[in-house]
């Protein structure tokens, strides 16, 4: 698979200003040098605790603001430096589904107008009949009855509204959809339905998904690869099976230990992370995770570990992997068994 989206050394630092007219007194290092790719038709999940910078990455990919440094390349074209006019045709190719299906739909627009807006904006319909045909197809795609297209958003349940949000994203005929905590606000059973719908749409339409979530239990069921973020950095990237079976970063290991297991007795030892997440205004020197890591040693406090290959297709940013295997608690670890080390 070739890369549809290629993000290189992306940084987004938000200035902190003193008072209304004051100068810059510091920066929030929300995203601090991350790289990843998404292939056509692939789902990459970006996971981590709230405040780790993952939603900022989504907004950067959508060009909702200018980035501080780095590159965002869509299908071979750098979009991070494009003017809004040049960017316009490319905007169609990257769409978004937001977390809150209640606030993300205009309550004063009927579903028909909500879905017709991107089709008109991007001139995707030849005439009125073509527009009607596309609207009908969109309702079919998200499994909503066609005769509901004349209703208002408040007449739908939360799950149905999220289907409308997905249909609105599909209306622009995108190649990539950024799903920013798209199922987090939904009930458990509705979550599963929306995740199944996204998977079906992906295989029907060949869509790529950047799935931003704090919920690893959902991610485990629907992603191809996972990138784990901590305090503005990616600390681990791996195919789903490899990451869930044998995490190579202590932060991922702790996150996975909190995921409920369906089989009795398969539950991993719960690792409770002590201490608060440090401030992104003043991140710790060395490894950013060292203030909460149960394996921390001297080198971690002074030297930042690079994201490096640990196995084929599996990268992690941790000094443990420079130690001999018998001193590395994460070498060759398999799921729960590694936690006995």
Alpha-carbon span 71 to 150, nearest angstrom:
42
Interface pick for ligand SF4 out of 287, 307, 310, 338 (rule CB under 6 A): 287
Interface pick for ligand SF4 out of 72, 177, 182, 320 (rule CB under 6 A): 320
Q: Which residue has the tokens 């201490």?
A: 275
Query: Total binding residues for ligand SF4 by CB under 6 A?
Result: 13
Cβ at position 44, least distance to ligand SF4 in Å: 22
Nearer to ligand SF4 by Cβ, of 27 and 295: the residue is 295
295 binds ligand SF4 (CB under 6 A): yes
Q: Cα dist. 116→96, 122, 236, 327 in Å? A: 16, 10, 40, 60
Interface pick for ligand SF4 out of 271, 296, 323, 336 (rule CB under 6 A): 296
Cβ at position 229, least distance to ligand SF4 in Å: 14
Alpha-carbon span 250 to 328, nearest angstrom:
11
Cβ at position 330, least distance to ligand SF4 in Å: 8
Alpha-carbon span 175 to 182, nearest angstrom:
17
Cβ at position 338, least distance to ligand SF4 in Å: 14
Cβ at position 270, least distance to ligand SF4 in Å: 18
Interface pick for ligand SF4 out of 289, 307, 310, 328 (rule CB under 6 A): 289
- Asked if 80 and 72 touch (Cβ cutoff 8 Å), the reply is yes
Q: Cα dist. 99→30, 184, 224 in Å? A: 20, 6, 21
Interface pick for ligand SF4 out of 177, 293, 307, 333 (rule CB under 6 A): 293
300 binds ligand SF4 (CB under 6 A): yes
Nearer to ligand SF4 by Cβ, of 7 and 317: the residue is 317
247 binds ligand SF4 (CB under 6 A): no
Q: How do beta strands 233-239 and 225-230 pair?
A: antiparallel
Binding region for ligand SF4 (CB under 6 A) out of 30-38, 45-53, 270-278, 313-321: 313-321
318 binds ligand SF4 (CB under 6 A): yes
Cβ at position 136, least distance to ligand SF4 in Å: 52
Cβ at position 278, least distance to ligand SF4 in Å: 12
36 binds ligand SF4 (CB under 6 A): no
Nearer to ligand SF4 by Cβ, of 93 and 290: the residue is 290
Cβ at position 292, least distance to ligand SF4 in Å: 8
319 binds ligand SF4 (CB under 6 A): yes
**Sites of contact with ligand SF4 (CB under 6 A):** 249-250, 287, 289-290, 293, 295-296, 300, 305, 318-320
């Amino acid at each position: 698979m070739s890369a549809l989206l290629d993000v290189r050394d992306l940084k987004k630092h938000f200035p902190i200003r003193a008072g209304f007219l004051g100068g810059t007194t510091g920066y929030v290092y929300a995203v601090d040098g991350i790289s990843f790719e998404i292939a056509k038709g692939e789902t990459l999940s970006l996971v981590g605790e709230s405040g780790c910078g993952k939603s900022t990455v989504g907004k950067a990919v959508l060009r909702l603001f200018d980035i501080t440094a780095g590159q965002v390349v869509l299908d071979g074209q750098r979009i991070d430096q494009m003017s809004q006019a040049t960017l316009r045709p490319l905007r169609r190719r990257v769409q978004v589904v937001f977390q809150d299906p209640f606030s993300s739909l205009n309550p004063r627009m009927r579903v028909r107008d909500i879905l017709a807006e991107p089709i008109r904006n991007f001139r995707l319909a030849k005439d009125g009949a073509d527009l009607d045909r596309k609207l009908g197809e969109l309702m079919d795609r998200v499994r909503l009855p066609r005769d509901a297209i004349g209703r208002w958003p408040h007449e739908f349940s939360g799950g149905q509204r999220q289907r409308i949000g997905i249909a609105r994203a599909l209306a622009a005929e995108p190649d990539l959809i950024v799903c920013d905590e798209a199922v987090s606000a939904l009930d458990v059973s509705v979550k599963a339905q929306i995740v199944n719908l996204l998977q079906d749409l992906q295989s029907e339409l060949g869509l790529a998904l950047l799935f931003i979530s704090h919920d690893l239990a959902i991610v485990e069921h629907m992603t191809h690869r996972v990138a784990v973020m901590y305090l503005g950095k990616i600390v681990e990237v791996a195919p789903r099976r490899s990451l869930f079976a044998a995490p190579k970063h202590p932060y991922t290991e702790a996150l996975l230990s909190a995921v409920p297991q369906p089989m009795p007795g398969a539950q991993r030892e719960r690792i409770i992370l002590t201490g608060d997440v440090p401030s992104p205004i003043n991140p710790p020197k060395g490894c950013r995770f060292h203030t909460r890591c149960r394996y921390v040693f001297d080198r971690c406090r002074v030297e930042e570990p690079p994201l490096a290959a640990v196995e084929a297709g599996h990268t992690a940013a941790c000094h443990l992997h420079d130690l001999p295997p018998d001193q590395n608690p994460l070498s060759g670890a398999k799921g729960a068994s590694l936690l006995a080390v």
